């Protein structure tokens, strides 16, 4: 299992590296270079948005832990609340909905 996880990580790193190389090669063609120019223009605002989103997400996890932590095991700590909120953000149904 450990070897499979390492292999997956190496594969993901190779995919990211090949994507970066593709973006660098796209700069050579004048009409396609607008894509890379647009990506360079949005990096700063996107980083700011992600920082604000992360602060908000951690705040929500802390609030969920404080509000629901004493009754629900999924929210007993901030880390568990972050995990549960991340799962719910991508569409995973909470366990307590399937029990109703």
pLDDT band of residue 90 (cuts 50, 70, 90) is: confident
To which residue do tokens 């920082």 refer? 51
Taking the C-alpha atoms of residue 47 and residue 93, their distance in angstroms, rounded to an integer, is 29
pLDDT at 11: 95
* Short-list 92, 62, 91, 86, CA closest to 75: 62
Residue 100 scores a pLDDT above 60: no
- pLDDT tens across 25-74, in order? 888 888 888 888 888 899 999 999 999 999 999 999 999 999 999 998 88
Taking the C-alpha atoms of residue 92 and residue 88, their distance in angstroms, rounded to an integer, is 5
DSSP secondary structure letter of residue 5? H
Q: What is the mean pLDDT of the chain?
A: 88
Other C-beta atoms within 10 Å of 82: how many?
18
């Amino acid at each position: 299992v450990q070897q499979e996880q390492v292999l997956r990580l190496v594969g993901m790193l190779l995919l990211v590296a090949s994507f970066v190389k593709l973006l660098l090669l796209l700069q050579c063609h004048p009409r396609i270079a607008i894509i890379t120019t647009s990506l360079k223009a949005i990096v700063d605002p996107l980083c700011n948005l992600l920082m604000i989103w992360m602060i908000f997400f951690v705040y929500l996890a802390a609030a969920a832990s404080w509000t629901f932590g004493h009754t629900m095991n999924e929210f007993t700590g901030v880390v568990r609340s972050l995990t549960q909120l991340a799962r719910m953000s991508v569409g995973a149904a909470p366990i307590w909905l399937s029990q109703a």
